Each structure stands twice: as C-alpha cells, then as structure tokens.
Amino acid sequence: MSETRQMRHGSSIGQPVTRRDGLLKVTGQARFAADNHPAGLLHAVLAVSRIARGRVAALDLPAARAHPGVVEVMVTANRLALALHPDDKSVPFSFKLDLLQDDRVRYAGQPIAVVIAATLEAATEAAALLAPRYEAGPVEVTLDAPGGYVPESVGVGDPGEMRHGDVEAGLRAAARRIEATYETPLQFHNAMEPHGVVAAWEGDALSLDMPTQGLALTRMRLAALLGIRAEDIHIRSPFIGGGFGSKLLSGPQVLGILAARLVGRPVKLVLTRAQMYGPVTHRSPTRQTLRLGAARDGALTAIHHHVRTATSRHDDFLEPSAGVSHTLYAAPAIATTNEAVRLDTGTPGFMRAPGEASGSIALESAIDEMAHACGMDPLEFRLRNYAEVEPVSGKPFSSKALRECYAEGAARFGWAGRPLAPRQMRDEDGLLVGWGVGTATFPAIMFQAEARAVLRRDGTGLVESGTHDMGQGAWTAFAQIGADSLGLDLDRLEFRAGHSDLPNAGIAGGSGHTATAGGAIHAAGAQAIARLTEIAVADPRSPLFGAGNVGVVARGGRLLRRDDESRGEAYADILARAGLDSVEGRGSAAADPAAAERYAMHAHGAVFAEVKVDPELGQIRATRLVGAFAAGRIINPRLVRSQYYGGMIWGLSFALHERAAMDPRTGRVMNADLAEYHVPVNADVPSVEAILVEEQDPHVNALGIKGVGEIGITGTAGAIANAIWHATGTRIRRFPVAIEELGR
C-alpha cells in the first residue's frame, strides 16, 4: 500500500521496474573486472606474509623464477619507483598501502611479493615456492592488548567524546540503572567478488578493469601514486561484485598495476579469498559499555555509551560505534566516549554501516535490558523514549516517520500479545520461541557528484555519470531519475555509468550515492530541459512560443504548456527546427550546509524478529524478520526492498554468524575462508519482509532521498539478540551468539 502511495503517475521514479542490468547478469554476459582477458595477458599472484609483525628476511627467488611459466617476481628491489610514498594519503577515505616499499611486515596477509607468470597455475605455485623466512616480533591483536589511548576523533572526523547534560547526575537520579558490556567481533566484508584488476599500460596511459566504489577518488589516488595524469587513467567498473565498503579505493590492486608496468604486458591480479582477510580493511572488534538510567515511568534519565575498539599500529580508523546514541533515544543526559588500542593487524575501515552496525546491536540490547528492568514492553519503552528532536544537538529532524515504522512493523509482525517475560513461548515441536524489536537508524549523507544530460534529435536522451553499481541497482535507479529529469519514458533513455571518464559521481558509500548522484542527474536533466525550453518559447513557429511566463512541463518526450497541456511539441521537432543535434545540461549535487545546520537528517526503521532456539542444543534460527523503514523518497521499491532484505540479512549475520577468529599468538585469521567464516546461507533466511513506510522530506535534498543501503543491518542485529533473550531468558552480550552460550 505504501508503494502505491509513493508512485507518481506518468513518471519513472517510484516504479518497481526490474533491473536494467538483469539480462546481462542472468546470462553471464555481465563482465566483472576479472572476466577480462586482453591479448598478451599475464597472471599475477600475491605472496603474503604469514607473520603479523617483523620483517621478511629471505625469499627463495630462484625457486620461484625457475618454475616453468614464470616471467618475473616483483619484490622491493625491482618494484618501480612511486611518485608518492604508499603511506602518504593523498585523497579522502584513503589508507596507507603496502606496496612492497620495504621488508617490514605490519600485519598477517600483507603482500610481500608478486609473481607474474604466463598462467595462473604457474604464478600460484611460484608464489608458494617463495617460502619466505621471517624475523618475527611479538604481536598484539586483541582488545585485551595493554595500553590504549583516548582518540580525538572516530570514524571520519566524529568527535571522540560528546557530552550533553550531566550523565552522572542522571544516573544518580534514576530509579532503574543498568550497566552492561557488549562485545562485537572482528569482521571482514567478504564480497562475493574478490578484489582484482586487469591492468594494461600504453605508454603512460593506464587502462584498468577494476571494481571500485569510488572511480574518481581511485583515479586521483592512482595518479598521485604513479605520478601520471589522472586523465590518462581509464577505469572501467561497470559491475562491482559486492563492495560493502571494501572497494572504496584500490589497495593491493595497485601491485597488479605495477606488475603490468614492470613486465610491459597486461596483467591480471585477483586476490584469493584468504587474501581478503588482511589488506582490504575490516571491521574492528569493539567492547562497548552502556550505562543507562531510567525513571520509574520508563523515561531515560541518562545514556553513557563507551567504546573500546582498535586500529592498526600504523594507521587510523576507529569504528564510531557510539554515534547511534546521539540520535536514537531522548534522554536529558547523553555521553559518548571512546578509547582505542593499536594492534598488529591490517587497518580497519568502512564496513557496511560502519559504527551504526556495531553500535546498534549494543544500544538496542541495552535498551531492551532497561525495558525489562522497568517491566515494560520493549516497543512501548522505545515509544516512551521517542526522540522528537535529535537529543544531543537539539535540532529538529528533517523528517522522521519512525513512529509509523513501529506501528506498521508491529502490526505486520503481530507483536501484540507478546508475553512480557522471557521463555514463555514454544512451537509445536518444543523449540523455544522469542520475539525482539530493534530500532534502525542511519544518517542521510551526501557527497559530491556531477552529471551530464543530453536530449538528442532522435527523441532519445542520454545521461552520463560515473556512478557505481555494486548491487544497489544504480543502473536502474539513476536511469529512472534521469528519465524523469528529461521528461522521457525509461526506454528512451541511455544511461552510461561505471567509467572514470564520465562525470565524477563521487562514491558509492554512506548510503549516499542515490541522493548525491541522483541529485546531480536531476539537475543536469533540468538544465537540458531549460535550454530546450528557451529555444522553444523564443521560436514563433513553436506552439510553445511565448510560454516562458506560464512555464512548461516536460513529459513523454514533449514540452507542454503548463496552463494548457494540449499545446506542446516533441523535443525532436524543437531541435530539428533549431538545426541542433542535441542540447546538453550539466548538473551537480552536494550536501547543503544550511540544511545540515538546521536539521538532523536520518533514515529510521523498526525491525521485528522471531527466533527459535533448540532448548537443549542451543542452535538458533531467525525464523521471521519484519522491517519497516522510512527513508524519504523511494526511487524504485523493488530494488529498495532488496536493499533492506540484504541489510537485514547482514544484521542476522552480525547477531548469529560472522566472526573472524584471529590467533592471538600469530595474528593470523584462522578461518580466512567461507567454510568457517560463516555468512548466512539460504536456509538461514526462511522469512524476511520489508515495509516501505511513506516519508516525505522537503529538506534533505532536492529529491527527498535519504538512502537505504545500510540501515537494514542496524536494528536487525539487536532485534535478533533481543529475541534470543526473549526465547531463552539468557542475555547474551558477546556476538555472534556462540552455540555454547545457549547450549549449556
């Protein structure tokens, strides 16, 4: 029902059209980076460090070089000089890189050599034959490592400490207090597509097939490293086989580019699955302590959210887990604090809902614990503490339909009648049943993007923006926005994306791509239409002559007088008469600082989970997930629903499955694969539903879009944790929930 309400008749926006890249993807014709095979291609394979700290003392280069088919082994000594040290960060969102600059090892899985051979088989074996010898130092890889520091900032420039009101006074005044510590694990993105590159040099020009969530930034980063002009770098990234934050900038792929330069031939370098557990960032473990106070009536008096997390010994990124406590629940006193420790690991980074995912499961668990302490239904407790304005900043929300999310989600799930006490429900087979709720939240972020729109004499349109499709449906959603902006039917629009030569579309991250690049496309289309209008209204031969004052409407490939839609003409006719092949518009979009000054801008949602738990064995299954989300304007409900499903399954994975087991003695991930690093399989997801709650936001941006890519993971993880408590009466505070926690 919400879906129909959001559709605008006669427009592409809001229509649940199927993916424009669907045909390519179901026929195997969608060429991902590693599917390319230029003539003369050689294969490069990384050798990576098996120690986490120390130096590489020796490599058996003769053995590797002697292996049949090997062309070259790239090590520190013969690696081409770079124009910029790999530790220098030249663009936003970049991290220090390990590009064979020296013999030092700073984490397990760090590249230490690259073997280039005629075949993949030969390169792979020769990399093994390098048999490195190391001088290894002692390592620290867990949050129990000694020391630590208080960071000035976390995430990307968020303050390391935030205080609003007097938390200690609030806690003292509280009738109910809880203090609990939650632990979240080390996680790796594990996109299905391994990071890879096919690199080919022609003189100083570089042609790349490489998945990236940030074409323009990647090009700038590479230009600075390689000392060549950005415009000489051509990156094709038409399909990204999942990114989740791990493909923002090229990391180890740079070694493939350098290898191609070294041997003077095109080179393909693809990481193995095991190699995706080191140099391509991760989510750090966190240990979060929540202290909450509440009055007798359930009103929160204080929230203190403290986070201990980790970054690498050599670089900085701190999972900003406490940020969710700034926005979600009203309390007169809120404090968030952070401490960090440096570990001998790769550098953490942006992993789907960085901060919000890990913070949400802790906060939502703590809120549930407090609801129980107050003897209140957890949904009622959340409504009791509903934030009418953003608690910490005091700003009004640009829009917030969270109350509707709670209501629609609860109704669909059948929340009413849930027993207050835990361990009250069983199914007909005796399995314990529990229901939990979690609030979802994610900020509405904008980056910067540009686009170009063209109306052509044949009546078709073209929109160009170097956008990124990693599964969100960018090809489709942006084409829908483009078609509407040009007043064309969707099948009359050509949309070009996924190439660094196109206008800079910013990054696909922070759930801000559709809003940002969509805004640029919308503006570009509007400018093209404005130019066409200028031509038509000034032309006495046009039925639109003189309509400048009343304005025109662009629809279905025609300009129409706003005051009399029976008078109008086709774009093609206007252009033909003017002797033009096309008119062009350009547009850009970026965050509006004035709006951000006035409003708090976030998407919200409510997730309801049912779990079943085997009472003796402790095995858990999330049997039902219902999420209701309000995220401003929905461009394509079919694709948005899929984004919510995917996010919710990530939430399920967070609560129940995924965890990298790093050996504290060596710093090696001992489950660096997909057999033992568990992500959910199909059978783990028997039922998932997403409700699109209507929300109109006139402030957030021109199109009213908030972004949907990450919010689904928030709320869901907590809802499942809370459902497990409700099923069993046992509150698990370490995630993912291990089988032994319940099977005892």
Partner 1 sequence: MSYTITLTINRVPRTLELDDPRITLLDLLRERLDLPGTKKGCDRGQCGACTILLDGRRVNACLALALSHDGAEILTIEGLAEGEALHPMQQAFIAHDAFQCGFCTPGQIMSAIGLVGEGQTGADPERVREGMSGNLCRCGAYRGITEAVVEAARAMAADGQGRAA
Partner 2 sequence: MNRFEYVRPRSVAEAVAAGAVPGSAYLAAGTNLLDLMKIGVARPGRLVDLNHLPGLDGIEHQADGAVRIGAQVRNADLAHDPGFRRRFPAVAEALLSGASAQLRNAATVGGNLLQRTRCAWFQDTASACNRRDPGSGCDARGGENRLHAVLGWSEHCIATHPSDFCVPLAALDAVVEVEGPTGRREIALRDFHLLPGTTPERESVLAPGELVVALRLPAEAAGFAAHARYAKLRERTSYAFAVVSAAAALRIVDGRIVAARLALGGVAAKPWRAEEAEAALAGAAPEAAAFRRAAEAALAAARPSGDNAFKIELARRIAVRALTLAAAGTPERLPALPASPFAPLSGGRHV
Task: Report the catalytic residues.
Answer: 710
CA distance 674 to 667: 19
Which of 488, 646, 686, 656 has the alpha carbon at shortest distance from 12? Answer: 488
Q: Are 154 and 320 in contact (CB under 8 A)?
A: yes
Which partner in partner 2, partner 1, none is near 370 (CB below 5 to 8 A by kind)?
Answer: none
Q: How far is the CB of 103 from partner 2 (least distance, A)?
A: 18
Exposure b/e, 732-743, CB count within 10 A at least 16 = b? bbebbbeeebbe
User: Which residues does 585 contact at the CB level (< 8 Å), separation at least 6?
Assistant: 452, 453, 454, 523, 524, 525, 526, 527, 528, 529, 530, 531
Residues 479-538 that bind partner 1 (CB under 8 A): none
Q: How near is the Cβ of 736 to partner 1 at its closest, in Å?
A: 16
Residue 35, binding choice from partner 1, partner 2, none, Cβ under 5 to 8 Å by partner class: partner 1
140 versus 404: smaller Cβ distance to partner 2: 140
Shortest approach of partner 1 to residue 527 CB, angstroms?
Answer: 32
The site partner of 598 among partner 1, partner 2, none (C-beta below 5 to 8 Å per kind) is none
CB of 125 to partner 1, least distance (A): 8
Is the CB of 44 or the CB of 249 nearer to partner 2?
44
Smallest CA-to-CA distance from 724 within 432, 467, 510, 305 is with 432
Q: Does 674 bind partner 1 (CB under 8 A)?
A: yes
How many angstroms separate the CA atoms of 21 and 16, rounded?
14
Identity of the amino acid at 570: A
Closer CB to partner 1, residue 323 or residue 646? 646
φ/ψ of residue 61, rounded to 5: -65, -40
Q: Which is nearer to partner 2, 190 or 321 (CB)?
A: 190
- Binding pattern to partner 1, positions 135-174, x when CB under 8 A? ----------------------------------------
Q: Is residue 43 within the footprint of partner 1 (CB under 8 A)?
A: yes
User: Binds 270, which of partner 1, partner 2, none (CB < 5 to 8 A, cut-off by type)?
Assistant: partner 1
For residue 374, list its beta bridge partners: none
Which of partner 2, partner 1, none is residue 744 near (CB under 5 to 8 Å by kind)? partner 2
List all residues 6 or more positions away from 251 whose beta carbon is below 8 Å from its beta carbon: 95, 97, 98, 195, 279, 280, 281
CA 345/CA 669 separation, integer angstroms? 10
Name, in order, each residue with C-beta under 8 angstroms of 414's C-beta and a sequence gap of 6 or more: none
d(CA 216, CA 198): 18
Nearest partner of 517 among 272, 258, 213, 226, judged by Cα: 213
Using CB under 8 A, pick the residue from 244, 317, 406, 725 that binds partner 1: 244
Distance of alpha carbon 38 from alpha carbon 111, whole angstroms: 25
**498 token code pair:** 């996924």
Q: Does 120 participate in binding partner 1 (rule CB under 8 A)?
A: yes
Q: Is 190 in the site for partner 1 (CB under 8 A)?
A: yes
Which strands sit side by side in the sheet containing 432-443, from one edge to the other? 425-426, 432-443, 602-613, 620-630, 688-692
> With respect to partner 1, which residue has the nearer C-beta, 442 or 725?
442
Q: Which stretch binds partner 1 (CB under 8 A): 488-496, 525-533, 605-613, 668-676?
A: 668-676
Binding of partner 1 by 26 (CB under 8 A): yes
Binding segment toward partner 1, per CB under 8 A, in 7-15, 96-104, 377-385, 471-479: 471-479
- Least Cβ distance, residue 392 to partner 1 (angstroms): 32
Residues that bind partner 2 (CB under 8 A): 50, 68, 121, 124-125, 128, 274, 428-431, 612, 614, 616-619, 621, 623-624, 656-657, 661, 663, 665-666, 668, 670-671, 675-676, 678, 680-684, 686-687, 738-740, 743-744
Could you give the CA distance from residue 149 to residue 521 in angstroms, rounded to a whole number? 44
Tokens of 693: 């709650």
Among 3, 60, 121, 161, binds partner 1 (CB under 8 A): 121
Which span sits near partner 1 by CB under 8 A: 127-135, 297-305, 311-319, 676-684?
676-684
CB of 74 to partner 2, least distance (A): 21
The residue (of 140 and 209) whose beta carbon lies closer to partner 2 is 140
Identify each DSSP E strand in 688-732 by its residue range: 688-692
Q: At 339, is the secondary structure helix, strand, or coil?
A: strand
Task: Give the nearer residue to partner 2 in terms of CB position, either 28 or 147.
Answer: 28
- The reply to whether 679 sits near partner 1 by the rule CB under 8 A is yes
Burial class (CB in 10 A: 0-12, 13-18, 19+), 490: middle
192 binds, among partner 1, partner 2, none (CB under 5 to 8 A by kind): partner 1
31 lines the binding site for partner 1 (CB under 8 A) = yes
d(CA 573, CA 434): 65
CB nearer to partner 1: give 123 or 445: 123
Nearer to partner 2, 138 or 698 (CB): 138
**Quick one: what does residue 739 bind among partner 2, partner 1, none, with the CB cut-off 5 to 8 Å set by partner type?**
partner 2
Separation between Cα atoms, residue 78 and residue 73, nearest integer Å: 9
Q: Are 103 and 232 in contact (CB under 8 A)?
A: no
Angle 379-383-385 from CA coordinates, rounded to 5°: 120
Q: How far is the CB of 222 from partner 1 (least distance, A)?
A: 23
Residue 239 engages partner 1 in binding (rule: CB under 8 A)? yes
What's the rounded Cα separation, in Å, for the pair 107 and 87?
15
Q: With binding defined as CB under 8 A, does residue 673 bind partner 1?
A: yes
Per-residue interface string for the shown chain with partner 1, residues 576-595, x marking contact by CB under 8 A? --------------------
* Residue type for position 55: R
What's the length of the chain? 744
Angle, CA of 367, 443 and 391, to the nearest 5°: 50
Q: Which range of residues in 267-275, 388-396, 549-557, 590-598 is near partner 1 by CB under 8 A?
A: 267-275
The answer to the question of residue 28 lying near partner 1 (CB under 8 A) is yes
Minimum CB separation of residue 667 from partner 2 in Å reads 11
Nearer to partner 1, 241 or 503 (CB): 241
Considering the complex, what minimum distance in angstroms separates the CB of residue 261 from partner 1?
22
> Look-up: residue for tokens 């309801």?
608
Nearer to partner 1, 351 or 700 (CB): 351
Contact positions toward partner 1, by CB under 8 A? 18-19, 21-32, 34-37, 43, 69, 119-122, 125, 190-194, 239-242, 244, 270, 272-273, 469-473, 638-639, 641-643, 645-650, 673-675, 679-686, 688
